[in-house]
């Protein structure tokens, strides 16, 4: 057997499906096998592999083994002359394996090779080729100096910036996303070092291949798409901690003890600096809009107070400062919380989300204001005028921001997308069905048949310009992924590309290497798959638990197991359980979103769920049409069973 492809999967069902589809096409002229190790995924990855790809050898692990152990598990059963370790979030071109095998056949000194990798927008990923992580190279990497001098050998040794991407090169380090090597070498030196938990295992294996007397190569003549570039992992301190741990293990293995302390000192300094700057940057980006909203709202309410007190009471100091500022802080806080819970600060929201958040915030402010003691009330008219001001500000501010950032007037985080779908009519219908449940504002401006696919970039540039296209969707009937990759590389940077999976259940893509991969599926019709809805459910659990704590002296007498009742309140407060939910096993059986196990089941809302089939129908209905009112209904109807 010529080639064994090993893929480790963990909860990326749709990406795995697309990767396997491309791998099967690339294997048509090569004798090979595919081995998938599933690391105890909670989605239906295993079911998908068994039903759509019966020729794939599936190894199901009951626990998450991690990257190294899972790859080694499959390696023990691989029969190919060559081994390819491949990420599930990749797509390979149809000529990829042929060219890799040919290169290795013609270069006996080659121990392993990697290929040109592009992200979901067609841009080359720098981790396609990497250098040995010496003290200086690692320091430049973690401090970001390499980004300031991308083509410098001295500053960007980590990505070997002095080497171009258009030619084949000898390199030091290959990435684990696409690691093509010889089985004989792995038999000689062993597979991945299982001491590496996350990051660094590919660096270690690459270096051991060189120590064994072989060379690592970067092959420029073929390419793959890698949807999740390294930079998508750097948004939190966990990345830097994991990177440091990997470098610590690596340095202890290969560096002399007299140089180890200096290396670790520079790495610690770099990680501390980079991590701090990254944390501050992300914090400012996250809080910038809420802070702006808070400042404008407080300023507007203060101005309203001044004008109203002068016009109506003829005295600008009519209202008590304590009462006014207490009210201003309350009104602003409630509106900010309402914006947050309605998803206004998310990447995507609609105009109705903004309007409903302003209105619901006004209603809640009115209720809380009426409950305040007289000494902390200023004026209902200030609240009424503040509502009008916040409504006007919310609309105008979002319109202006969209004009500045996205060059269109409108409410919502994204302008309407003009989409071109390339594929057969039945595939276009499937893609359109997914788009309908994706919360996108879109218009399909053109449909291109598969046989009309042209690799001529001028044709696509003209199409994009004339139709003002924002996004291209390629369907499985498009026979040449190589042509698709060429088209992606020639598109303007702002054009997004997505691909329909073989089953027609998912659209996958990534705006850039700096963004996590995007996935649209028919499962998005379930509100519980949406971040905003999950946040609202979590807030309900907290509020209901706090309410029970406040009035526990009443409700505790309704429970048979009073200790269990208190434990359930605590479990819902800390988030280990939810007041209403179902098991992950049931979620997999019914193919509905996985949520936390509930104290009560959705079926507890009715006494008629006597059969298993009816019980499943009620649970599916709950997932499909979920709202917090359903949770409240279940809890109130079972107020004496909260000790379950």
How far apart, in whole angstroms, are the C-alpha atoms of residue 635 and residue 601? 10
pLDDT for the residue 359: 95
* pTM across the whole model: 0.76
When pLDDT is averaged across residues 270-286 and rounded to a whole number, the result is 74
Strands (E), 253-330: none
Return the structure tokens found at 465: 């310009």
pLDDT for the residue 512: 60
How far apart, in whole angstroms, are the C-alpha atoms of residue 526 and residue 492? 34
What sign results for the dihedral spanned by CA atoms 205, 207, 212, 215?
positive
| 321-341 and 531-550 helices, crossing angle to 10° | 130
Q: In this predicted model, what pLDDT tens digit does every residue of 383-430 receive, in sequence order? A: 999 999 999 999 999 988 888 876 777 777 666 788 999 988 888 899
Which of the residue ranges 209-213, 548-552, 622-626 would you say has the lowest mean pLDDT? Answer: 548-552
Contact 573, 536 (CB under 8 A): no
Which of the residue ranges 98-102, 236-240, 383-387 would you say has the lowest mean pLDDT? Answer: 236-240
**Pick from 280, 296, 400: nearest CA to 339:** 296
375: DSSP letter: G
When pLDDT is averaged across residues 75-102 and rounded to a whole number, the result is 95
pLDDT for the residue 532: 86
When pLDDT is averaged across residues 291-304 and rounded to a whole number, the result is 95
> In the predicted model, is pLDDT for residue 233 greater than 60?
no
Residue, of 113 and 281, whose pLDDT is higher: 113
Confidence of residue 257 (pLDDT cuts 50, 70, 90): low
Q: State the maximum Cα–Cα separation within the chain, in Å, rounded to a whole number.
A: 93
Question: 200 CB contacts (<8 Å, ≥6 apart)?
Answer: 243, 245, 246, 247, 249, 250
pLDDT for the residue 231: 38
Query: Which percentage of the chain shows pLDDT scores above 70?
Result: 89
pLDDT for the residue 232: 42
Q: In this predicted model, what pLDDT tens digit does every residue of 5-39 receive, in sequence order? A: 999 998 888 899 999 999 999 999 899 999 999 99
| Structural domains in the chain, sorted by start | 3-129+165-226 (3.90.550.10), 417-525 (3.40.50), 527-637 (no CATH)
Strand, coil or helix: what is 285?
A: helix
pLDDT for the residue 388: 95
Q: In this predicted model, what pLDDT tens digit does every residue of 520-543 receive, in sequence order? A: 887 667 888 888 889 899 999 999
Confidence of residue 229 (pLDDT cuts 50, 70, 90): very low
What sign results for the dihedral spanned by CA atoms 226, 228, 232, 233?
negative
What sign results for the dihedral spanned by CA atoms 76, 82, 85, 89?
negative
Query: Which percentage of the chain shows pLDDT scores above 90?
Result: 43
Return the structure tokens found at 258: 């007299």
Contact 439, 416 (CB under 8 A): no
How far apart, in whole angstroms, are the C-alpha atoms of residue 83 and residue 46? 22
Cα–Cα separations (whole angstroms), residue 296 to 226, 263, 363, 365, 401 = 42, 48, 20, 18, 15
Distance, CA of 347 to chain centre: 12
> In the predicted model, is pLDDT for residue 55 greater than 80?
yes
pLDDT for the residue 268: 66
Average pLDDT of every residue of the chain: 86
pLDDT for the residue 134: 78
Residues 60, 62, 68, 72, Cα dihedral to 10°: -50
Phi, psi of 5 (to 5 degrees): -100, 125
When pLDDT is averaged across residues 266-285 and rounded to a whole number, the result is 72
| 562-574 and 531-550 helices, crossing angle to 10° | 140
pLDDT for the residue 601: 92
Contact 210, 248 (CB under 8 A): no
> In the predicted model, is pLDDT for residue 354 greater than 70?
yes
Establish how many alpha carbons lie within 13 A of residue 573's alpha carbon, considering only the half-sphere containing its beta carbon.
11
When pLDDT is averaged across residues 598-624 and rounded to a whole number, the result is 81
Q: In this predicted model, what pLDDT tens digit does every residue of 326-340 receive, in sequence order? A: 999 999 999 999 999
Distance, CA of 640 to chain centre: 40
Highest-scoring range by mean pLDDT, 86-90, 132-136, 397-401, 423-427:
86-90
Query: What is the β-pairing status of strands 82-86 and 178-182?
Result: antiparallel
DSSP string for 319-374: S-HHHHHHHHHHHHHHHHHHHHHTTTTSS---HHHHHHHHHHHHHHHHHHHHHS-G
Q: In this predicted model, what pLDDT tens digit does every residue of 473-507 receive, in sequence order? A: 999 888 788 888 888 888 877 788 899 998 888 88
């Amino acid at each position: 057997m010529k080639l064994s492809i090993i893929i480790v999967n963990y909860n990326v069902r749709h990406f795995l499906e697309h990767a396997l589809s491309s791998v099967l096409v690339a294997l048509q002229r090569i004798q090979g096998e595919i081995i998938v190790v599933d690391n105890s995924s909670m989605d239906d990855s295993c079911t998908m592999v068994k039903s759509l790809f019966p020729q794939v050898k599936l190894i199901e692990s009951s626990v998450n083994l991690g990257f190294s152990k899972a790859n080694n598990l499959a390696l023990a059963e691989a029969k190919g002359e060559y081994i390819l370790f491949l990420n599930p979030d990749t797509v390979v071109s149809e000529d990829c394996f042929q060219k890799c095998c040919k290169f290795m056949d013609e270069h006996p000194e080659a121990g392993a090779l990697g290929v040109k990798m592009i992200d979901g927008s067609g841009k080359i990923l720098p981790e396609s080729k990497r250098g040995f992580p010496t003290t200086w190279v690692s320091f430049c990497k973690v401090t970001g100096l390499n980004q300031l001098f991308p083509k410098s050998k001295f500053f960007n040794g980590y990505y070997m910036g002095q080497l171009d991407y258009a030619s084949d090169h000898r390199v030091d380090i290959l990435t684990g996303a696409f690691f093509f090597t010889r089985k004989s070498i792995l038999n000689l030196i062993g597979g991945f070092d299982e001491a590496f938990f996350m990051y660094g295992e590919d660096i270690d294996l690459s270096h051991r291949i060189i120590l064994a007397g072989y060379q690592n190569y970067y092959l420029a003549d073929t390419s793959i798409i890698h949807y999740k570039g390294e930079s998508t992992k750097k948004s939190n301190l966990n990345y830097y901690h994991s990177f440091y741990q990997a470098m610590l293990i690596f340095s202890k293995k290969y560096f002399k003890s007299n140089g180890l302390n200096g290396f670790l000192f520079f790495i610690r300094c770099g990680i501390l600096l980079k991590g701090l700057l990254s944390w501050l940057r992300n914090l400012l980006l996250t809080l910038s809009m809420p802070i702006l909203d808070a400042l404008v709202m407080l300023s507007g309410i203060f101005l309203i107070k001044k004008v109203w007190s002068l016009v109506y009471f003829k005295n600008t100091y009519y209202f008590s400062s304590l009462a006014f500022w207490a009210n201003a802080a309350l009104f602003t806080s409630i509106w900010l919380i309402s914006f947050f819970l309605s998803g206004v600060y998310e990447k995507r929201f609609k105009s109705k989300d903004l309007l409903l958040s302003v209105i619901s915030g006004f209603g809640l402010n009115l209720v809380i204001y009426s409950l305040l003691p007289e000494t902390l009330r200023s004026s209902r008219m200030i609240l009424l005028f503040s509502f009008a001001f916040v409504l006007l500000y919310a609309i105008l501010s979002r319109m202006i921001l969209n004009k500045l950032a996205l060059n269109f007037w409108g409410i919502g985080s994204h302008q309407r997308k003009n989409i071109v779908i390339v594929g057969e009519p039945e595939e276009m219908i499937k893609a359109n069905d997914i788009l309908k449940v994706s919360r996108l504002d879109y218009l399909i401006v053109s449909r291109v048949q598969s046989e009309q696919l042209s690799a001529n970039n001028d044709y696509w540039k003209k199409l994009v310009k004339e139709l003002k296209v924002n996004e291209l969707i390629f369907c499985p009937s498009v026979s040449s992924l190589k042509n698709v990759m060429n088209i992606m590389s020639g598109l303007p940077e702002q054009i997004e590309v997505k691909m329909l999976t073989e089953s027609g259940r998912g659209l996958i893509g990534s705006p850039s290497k700096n963004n996590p991969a995007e996935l649209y599926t028919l499962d998005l019709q379930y509100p519980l798959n949406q971040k905003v809805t999950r946040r609202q459910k979590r807030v309900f659990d907290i509020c209901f638990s706090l309410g029970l704590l406040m009035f526990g002296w009443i409700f505790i007498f309704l429970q048979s197991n009073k200790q269990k009742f208190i434990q359930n309140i605590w479990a819902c407060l800390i988030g280990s359980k939810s007041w209403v939910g179902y098991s992950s096993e049931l979620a997999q059986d019914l193919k509905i979103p996985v949520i936390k196990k509930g104290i009560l089941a959705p079926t507890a809302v009715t006494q008629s769920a006597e059969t298993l089939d009816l019980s499943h129908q009620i649970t599916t209905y709950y997932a499909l049409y979920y709202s917090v009112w359903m949770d409240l209904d279940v809890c109130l109807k079972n107020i004496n069973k909260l000790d379950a």
